[in-house]
């Protein structure tokens, strides 16, 4: 059985493989084992000496991504030969043991576009493990930074604004703060309604339910959905990993999942719970028709750690995202309050 | 568990190595003042294993990022919370919503200080059996609206002990316990916060032998709507010193504590079965004890906004009510000879006051009647029979053993 699976995987690789290079595969023993290797290369996920994932991995993007200081993210997924993630009717894949989700962060105009850090989310028999790696100066390998680190970077955002920030590579615990459900680590991004393989065949890794899963809109593409739905997609991706009844912000009572009803627990007319300075002297998270008195927006536009949301992963304001939410609140009928 | 004798410990280590079981508890020492102290300390908190102690060196730690602990049964121990101790200084904090976040069970935090965080001081979420012991959380510039919200902040936890903690300067609550169960707050000092000690949306709490002084409000027992855990009940506030809570309210508007009148001793809002007894009250300008309903509009059909079965008995009342900081308070005080009685009830729900002092009711029969319709009159709330006294809170022995 295992041999057939391996042969099948090899055949698949050949079928899609334009590369004449040997068909390198990740080191499954390291992936499945208990170790936290000091070097990223130990996993064999990248072409040796580079930050380019092996062709055996499946690259993907998201319709609506999490904002991370305007970083460009390169995502790819690996599952061991023969393994496959069945996608539930809710769009959530059931990833097999041995899965690795790889996400590299960089800026096109910084350090020659080479990634600054790569985060791994590994599905081991014991559960998911999150490991942050920071790329070495020569760009050939990356080193484990379990406690995170601040790295000075400079870049321009799409509107031409120059930034010089102390970019925060999260520590292992902070990975979990966002990737937490009932106290366990889970992936956030790769759900069928948000995954985009840009035309590539994903059937080697995913098996889909018969029923089509409607995609989430692209937050910045009005053709992909209404203002309301694009704002909801933005909130779902940027906030709901914590703001759900089993997430890190469960105690706030603010729940922003794609499936949550847009009511008081979605912030509409919701008074601050434990916001402290985050209230900005305002009464409501979202005051319909009145973005200037909606502290959800105030927190999104702040860089003060005592005010800013999300609490981790942001040293810049996402102006375009805030503009979307401002318009959403401005156009919200006051009567819905 | 402690293992006396090196030889015994060594044997255990060998056995552990062969059985791949947990190694014997170890101490990970981290030094203050090194350039990478932040990263080294965070690393220690990540690499610690259950049973381990992370030992903080003496000195001032200059930290730029929030710390977090997610390993069960770890002790974080410093060299003291005062001068010469282990001072975690977050004045230059660039990220994270708090100074230290604990998300694992059976953790002991002891003998260190957290100062000047941008957000909350120490937060623990879903961290059962947590012990906060001999800690200081302080905003050293005193009361300022730019200070962080909560000093110590356990939330969504079962079995919480806060013992011998000092908190000063929180722009919301110094000691805040939210949406938790089975709680003891004792022998602690809360000063110059908006709320000294606050028990919110929580069940079964004993708050005793604390000093709440020079806050806006000394000790608050609250319940708020639209939250995962609500219906706060069974809270005993006893044998505390609650005095001189006359610091002008400096909470950011919008937050519930921004509505606490300056000069409040104990404030009970929308809870049931709360006992306030054996406390020493003095110099609280609005009232020593206030009992009110939740009067904001809300859309939560499950929420119960009235105070019910609140018992006030056997307290000592010094001077109070001489500067009532609510609308029309000054006029009422003037009409009553310069001060209102030390116990104030808004008239909604029910309360029993056995203390031999006056009680002023605003006669607002429910939370819908606007405050403008208040008809303040003295009332006697001593005639009803109080419900059976609440039992004392018992914490697991493992927690009490940690502070002995």
Residue contact A263–B299, C-beta within 8 A: yes
> Is the complex ipTM higher than 0.95?
no
* Residue A22, number of CB atoms within 10 A of its CB: 6
Q: Closest-CA residue in chain A for B148?
A: A306
Q: ∠ CA(A47), CA(A52), CA(A55), 5° rounding?
A: 70
**Among A166, A264, A273, beta carbon nearest to B299:** A264
**Among B70, B148, B228, beta carbon nearest to A276:** B148
pLDDT in tens, A293-310: 999 999 999 999 899 999
Q: What pLDDT score was predicted for residue A174? A: 85
Which of the four pLDDT bands, split at 50, 70 and 90, describes residue A180? confident
**Among A147, A166, A279, beta carbon nearest to B253:** A279
Averaged confidence pLDDT in chain B: 92
Residue contact A295–B224, C-beta within 8 A: no
Q: What pLDDT score was predicted for residue A184? A: 78
To test the contact with chain B by mutation, choose from A148, A249, A251, A308 the residue with the greatest count of B C-beta atoms within 10 A, namely: A251
Q: Tell me the count of A-B CB pairs closer than 8 A.
A: 139
pLDDT in tens, B157-170: 999 999 999 999 99
Q: What pLDDT score was predicted for residue A8? A: 44
Task: List b or e across B13-51, with b for residues whose CB sees 16 or more CB atoms inside 10 angstroms.
Answer: eeeeeeeeeeebbeebebebeeeebbbbbbbbbbebeeb
pLDDT in tens, B314-373: 999 999 999 999 888 999 999 999 999 999 999 999 999 999 999 999 999 888 898 888
**Which of A162-176, B125-139, B197-211, B227-241 comes out lowest in average pLDDT?**
A162-176
Backbone angles phi, psi at B126, to 5 degrees: 60, 30
Q: Closest-CA residue in chain B for A295?
A: B254
**Which of A197-211, A285-299, B123-137 comes out lowest in average pLDDT?**
A197-211
What are the residues whose beta carbons fall under 8 Å from the beta carbon of A151, sequence distance 6 or more? Answer: A116, A117, A134, A166, A167, A169
The mean pLDDT value for A266-289 works out to: 92
Pair type for strands A195-196 and A58-62: antiparallel
- Token digits of residue B42: 């965070």
Q: What pLDDT score was predicted for residue A273? A: 86
- Cα separation, B42 vs A312, in Å, equals 15
Q: Chain A residues with CB inside 8 Å of B155's CB?
A: 251, 274
Beta bridge partners of B185: B162, B207
Higher pLDDT, B35 or B67: B67
pLDDT in tens, A30-78: 999 999 999 999 999 999 999 999 999 999 999 999 999 999 999 999 9
- Cα separation, A167 vs A4, in Å, equals 46
DSSP string, A276-313: GGGGTT-SBSB-TT-GGGBHHHHHHT---TTT-SSSSS
**Which of A111-125, A168-182, A302-316, B180-194 comes out lowest in average pLDDT?**
A168-182
Q: Does B299 touch chain A (CB under 8 A)?
A: yes
Instruction: Tell me the three state secondary structure of residue A102.
Output: strand
- Cα separation, A321 vs A303, in Å, equals 15
Residue contact A315–B299, C-beta within 8 A: no
**Among A276, A279, A311, beta carbon nearest to B96:** A311
**Among A251, A283, A284, beta carbon nearest to B125:** A251
Residue A336, pLDDT above cutoff 80: no
- Cα separation, A104 vs B173, in Å, equals 40
Which of the four pLDDT bands, split at 50, 70 and 90, describes residue A22? low
To test the contact with chain B by mutation, choose from A132, A184, A274, A278 the residue with the greatest count of B C-beta atoms within 10 A, namely: A274
Q: What pLDDT score was predicted for residue A165? A: 95
Residue with tokens 């079964």: B204
Distance from the Cα of A279 to chain B's closest Cα (Å) equals 6
- Cα separation, B353 vs B310, in Å, equals 8
Q: Chain A residues with CB inside 8 Å of B253's CB?
A: 279, 281-283
**Which B-chain residues 42-101 have CB contacts (< 8 A) with chain A?**
42-43, 45-47, 64-66, 68-70, 93-97, 101
Q: ∠ CA(B36), CA(B38), CA(B39), 5° rounding?
A: 70
Residue contact B68–A171, C-beta within 8 A: yes
The mean pLDDT value for A127-155 works out to: 94
**Among B46, B95, B96, beta carbon nearest to A172:** B46
Which of the four pLDDT bands, split at 50, 70 and 90, describes residue A7? very low
Residue contact A275–B70, C-beta within 8 A: no
Q: What pLDDT score was predicted for residue A196? A: 92
Distance from the Cα of B5 to chain A's closest Cα (Å) equals 32
Which of the four pLDDT bands, split at 50, 70 and 90, describes residue B152? very high
To test the contact with chain B by mutation, choose from A34, A306, A307 the residue with the greatest count of B C-beta atoms within 10 A, namely: A306
Residue B5, pLDDT above cutoff 90: no
Q: What percent of chain A has pLDDT over 70?
A: 93
The mean pLDDT value for B230-250 works out to: 97
Cis omega (within 30 of 0) for bond into B305: no
Residue contact A150–B65, C-beta within 8 A: yes
Which of the four pLDDT bands, split at 50, 70 and 90, describes residue B67? very high
Residue contact A306–B117, C-beta within 8 A: yes
Residue A12, pLDDT above cutoff 80: no
Higher pLDDT, B95 or B228: B228
Residue contact A251–B40, C-beta within 8 A: no
Q: Which helix (H) or strand (E) holds B53?
A: strand B53-56
pLDDT in tens, B282-297: 999 999 999 999 999 8
**Among B38, B118, B256, beta carbon nearest to A306:** B118
**Which of A100-104, B175-179, B254-258 comes out lowest in average pLDDT?**
B254-258
Residue with tokens 């098996």: A207
Which of the four pLDDT bands, split at 50, 70 and 90, describes residue A182? confident
Q: What pLDDT score was predicted for residue A185? A: 81
Name the most confidently modeled range: A22-31, A48-57, B10-19: A48-57
Q: Chain B residues with CB inside 8 Å of A305's CB?
A: 66, 93-97, 118-119
Integer-rounded Cα Rg, in Å, for chain B is: 23
Name the most confidently modeled range: A23-27, A81-85, B169-173: B169-173
pTM: 0.88
Task: List b or e across A54-87, with b for residues whose CB sees 16 or more CB atoms inside 10 angstroms.
Answer: bbbbbebebbbbbbbbbbbbbbbbbbbbbbbbeb
Q: Does B105 touch chain A (CB under 8 A)?
A: no
Residues B147/B171, Cβ–Cβ less than 8 Å? yes
Q: Does B150 touch chain A (CB under 8 A)?
A: yes
Instruction: Tell me the three state secondary structure of residue B187.
Output: coil
Residue A93 is given by DSSP the state B
Residue contact B227–A306, C-beta within 8 A: no
Residue contact B254–A283, C-beta within 8 A: yes
**Which of A135-139, A276-280, B231-235 comes out lowest in average pLDDT?**
A276-280
CA-based max dimension of chain B:
81
Residue contact A147–B126, C-beta within 8 A: no
The mean pLDDT value for B72-90 works out to: 97
Residue contact A271–B42, C-beta within 8 A: no
Q: What pLDDT score was predicted for residue B22? A: 54
Q: Does B305 touch chain A (CB under 8 A)?
A: no
Distance from the Cα of B294 to chain A's closest Cα (Å) equals 13
């Amino acid at each position: 059985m295992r041999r057939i699976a391996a042969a099948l995987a090899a055949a698949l690789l050949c079928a899609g493989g334009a590369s004449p290079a040997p068909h390198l595969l990740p080191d499954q023993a390291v992936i499945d084992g208990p170790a936290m290797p000091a070097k990223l290369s130990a996993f064999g996920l990248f072409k040796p000496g580079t930050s380019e994932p092996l062709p055996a991995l499946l690259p993907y993007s998201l319709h609506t991504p999490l904002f991370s200081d305007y970083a460009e993210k390169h995502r790819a997924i690996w599952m061991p030969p023969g393994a496959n993630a069945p996608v539930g009717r809710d769009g959530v894949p059931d990833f097999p043991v041995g899965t690795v989700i790889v996400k590299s962060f960089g800026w096109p105009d910084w350090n020659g576009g080479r990634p600054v850090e790569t985060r791994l989310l590994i599905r081991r028999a014991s559960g998911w493990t999150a490991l942050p790696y920071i790329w070495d100066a020569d760009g050939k390998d990356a080193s484990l930074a379990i406690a995170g680190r601040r790295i000075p970077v400079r870049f321009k955002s799409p509107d031409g604004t120059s930034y010089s920030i102390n970019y925060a590579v999260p520590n292992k615990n902070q990975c979990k703060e966002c990737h937490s459900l009932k106290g366990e680590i889970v992936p956030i991004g790769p759900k069928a309604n948000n995954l985009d393989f840009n035309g590539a065949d994903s059937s080697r890794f995913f098996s889909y339910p018969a029923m089509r899963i409607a995609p989430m809109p692209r937050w910045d593409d009005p053709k992909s959905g209404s203002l309301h739905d694009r704002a909801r997609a933005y909130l779902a991706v940027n906030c709901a990993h914590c703001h759900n009844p089993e997430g890190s912000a469960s105690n706030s009572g603010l729940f922003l999942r794609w499936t949550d009803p847009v009511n008081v627990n979605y912030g509409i007319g919701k008074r601050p719970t434990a916001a402290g300075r985050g209230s900005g002297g305002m009464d409501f998270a979202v005051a319909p028709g009145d973005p200037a008195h909606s502290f959800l927006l105030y927190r999104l536009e702040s860089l003060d750690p005592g005010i800013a949301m999300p609490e981790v992963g942001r040293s810049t304001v996402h102006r375009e995202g805030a503009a979307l939410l401002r318009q959403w609140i401005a156009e919200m009928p006051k009567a819905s309050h | 568990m402690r293992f006396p004798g090196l030889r015994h410990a060594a044997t255990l280590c060998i056995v552990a190595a062969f059985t791949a079981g947990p190694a014997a508890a170890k101490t990970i020492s981290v030094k203050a003042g090194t350039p990478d102290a932040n990263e080294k300390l965070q690393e220690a908190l990540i690499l610690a294993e259950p049973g381990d102690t992370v030992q903080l060196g003496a000195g001032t730690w200059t930290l730029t990022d929030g710390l977090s602990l997610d390993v069960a049964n770890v002790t974080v121990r410093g060299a003291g919370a005062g001068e010469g101790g282990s001072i975690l200084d977050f004045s230059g904090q660039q990220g994270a919503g708090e100074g230290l976040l604990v998300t694992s069970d059976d953790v002991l935090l002891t003998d260190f200080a957290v100062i000047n965080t941008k957000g909350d001081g120490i937060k623990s979420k879903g961290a059962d059996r947590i012990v906060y012991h001999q800690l200081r959380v302080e905003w050293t510039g005193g009361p300022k609206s730019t200070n962080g919200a909560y000093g110590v902040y356990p939330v969504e936890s079962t079995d919480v002990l806060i013992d011998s903690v000092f908190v000063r300067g929180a722009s919301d609550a110094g000691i805040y316990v939210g949406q938790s169960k089975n709680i003891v707050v004792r022998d602690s000092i809360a000063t110059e916060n908006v709320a000294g000690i606050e028990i919110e949306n929580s069940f079964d709490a004993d708050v005793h032998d604390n000093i709440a002084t020079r806050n806006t409000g000394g000790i608050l027992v609250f319940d708020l709507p639209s939250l995962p855990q609500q219906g706060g009940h069974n809270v005993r506030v006893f044998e505390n010193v609650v005095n001189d809570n006359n610091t002008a309210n400096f909470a950011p508007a919008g937050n519930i504590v921004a509505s606490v009148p300056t000069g409040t001793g104990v404030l009970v809002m929308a809870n049931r079965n709360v006992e306030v007894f054996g406390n020493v009250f003095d110099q609280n300008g609005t009232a020593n004890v206030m009992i009110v309903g939740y009067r904001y509009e809300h859309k939560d059909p499950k929420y119960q906004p009235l105070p019910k079965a609140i018992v006030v008995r056997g307290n000592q009342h010094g001077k109070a009510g001489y500067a009532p900081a609510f609308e029309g308070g000054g006029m009422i005080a003037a009409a009553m000879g310069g001060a209102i009685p030390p116990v104030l009830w808004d008239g909604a729900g029910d309360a029993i006051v056995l203390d031999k002092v006056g009680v002023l009711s605003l006669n607002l029969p429910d939370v819908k009647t606007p405050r403008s319709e208040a008809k303040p009159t003295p009332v006697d709330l001593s005639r009803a029979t109080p419900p059976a006294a609440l039992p004392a809170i018992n914490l697991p022995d493992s927690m009490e053993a940690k502070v002995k």
